[in-house]
A = this chain, B = another copy of it.
Amino acid sequence: MSGHKLDPIDRKILMELQDDGRMTNVELSRRVGISAPPCLRRVRSLEESGYIQGYHARVNARELGYEVMVFAMVSLKSQAGADLAAFEARARGWPLVRECFMLNGEIDFLLKCMAPNLAAFQSFLTDHLTAAPNVASVKTSLVIRAAKDEPGIPFEAMDTVADNA
């Protein structure tokens, strides 16, 4: 991890692998316009320097029995550093909490939760989240549908007149 400047080929590699992380190195090298060995060296270097943090298959949550996504907006009683850290540690330990972000403003944490059904989420909410130390209030919103769900960052905007933001 560092300030290595990335050249356009590195950027293209990252873009392609964000889009298809299982592409073979030969195909990747073809797309970025260099031969396979230096392409692989670049990928390894991007992995080691932390520009690439991992590769993940995206699975169909619904078909696998995770039918509900819920966002939980959590406010704490105390925002002291140790109390924030304690809540974060607890959140990391709940498997059904997939993402936990500390926010500015009234809401302290936003949690993206995946559960098999509403009942499972409700029991998590009452037995664990609301019951956790230092939690002042929790507001939840059920996701009706995902209109867009893209991973990572918008490489398309990096090579474009960013007019559409």
**Chain B CB within 8 A of A136 CB:** no
CA distance A50 to B154 in the complex (A): 24
Chain B hits for A60, CB < 8 A: 1, 50-53
Sorting the interface of chain A by its residue count into under 10, 10 to 19, 20 to 34 or 35 or more gives 35 or more
Give A contacts to B, CB under 8 Å: 1, 6, 11, 14, 17-22, 50-61, 63-66, 69, 71, 88, 91-105, 107, 109-110, 114, 120, 123-124, 127-128, 141-154, 156-158, 160, 162, 164-165
Are A64 and B51 in touch, CB under 8 angstroms?
Answer: yes
Can you list 11 A-B pairs, Cβ within 8 angstroms, ordered by A?
A1-B60, A18-B56, A52-B59, A66-B153, A69-B101, A95-B156, A95-B162, A100-B146, A100-B148, A104-B141, A114-B153
